[in-house]
Structure 1
Amino acid sequence: MMDQGPYYAVKMESGALGTAGGPKTNGNAQVLDWSGNPIPGLYAAGNAMAAVLGEAYGGAGGTLGPGMTFGYIAGRHLGTHISNH
């Protein structure tokens, strides 16, 4: 019955576990412009890019793999396109 305590309260707020938006990227993790062309020197990975799974969320930790993978891909791609001065 609800006529006797003790009662407890917990403050709940909404939050984001992942993203379903963000800049579109190509296979090199380069951010694409409105025409689908890579923007030179601009990369995105993890929650900073459009989600790999679209609007689906794979569960706890589901953004860690794409973040690490596309971060690695971006670093490798950028490393091959830096001129040695």
Structure 2
Amino acid sequence: MRLYPGDIGAATGFATDTDARVLDRDDAPIDVLYAVGNDMHSIMGGTYPGPGITLGPGLTFAYLAAQHAVARAKTPLAWEAKSAAV
């Protein structure tokens, strides 16, 4: 298989919130599911202005997702809290 470099990229992907959590059809975050980079809908409004445009947002939202995941890991999930209370 031959591979050729190009300047094509993704401009559409999963809808996410400010913590990079993937949103469902009702725009509610899906618990512990994150998307960044090319898997995340472009912050450029669905356009792809040029190569590397996903690098900055990818790094930024990866950081935000990691911060959210760490904070979330310190808090029990809702079903864990309910079963512990029984």
Q: TM-score range by the shorter chain?
A: 0.7 to 0.9
Residues 84 and 25 of structure 1: is their aligned pair in 2 closer, same or farther, counting only changes over 3 Å? closer
Q: Which runs of 5+ in 1 are unaligned?
A: 1-12
Kindly name which structure, 1 or 2, has the bigger radius of gyration based on alpha carbons.
1
Percent identical pairs in the alignment equals 43
1:1-85 matches, within 5 Å, as 17-83=8-74
2-side partners of 1:16 and 1:44: how far apart?
Answer: 22
| Residue type at the aligned position of 1:21 | T
Q: Which runs of 5+ in 2 are unaligned?
A: 77-86
Q: Report the TM-score, using the length of structure 1 for normalisation.
A: 0.73
Larger helix proportion of the pair: 2
CA offset digits 1:55-77 (Å, max 9, x no partner): 32232211100110110100000
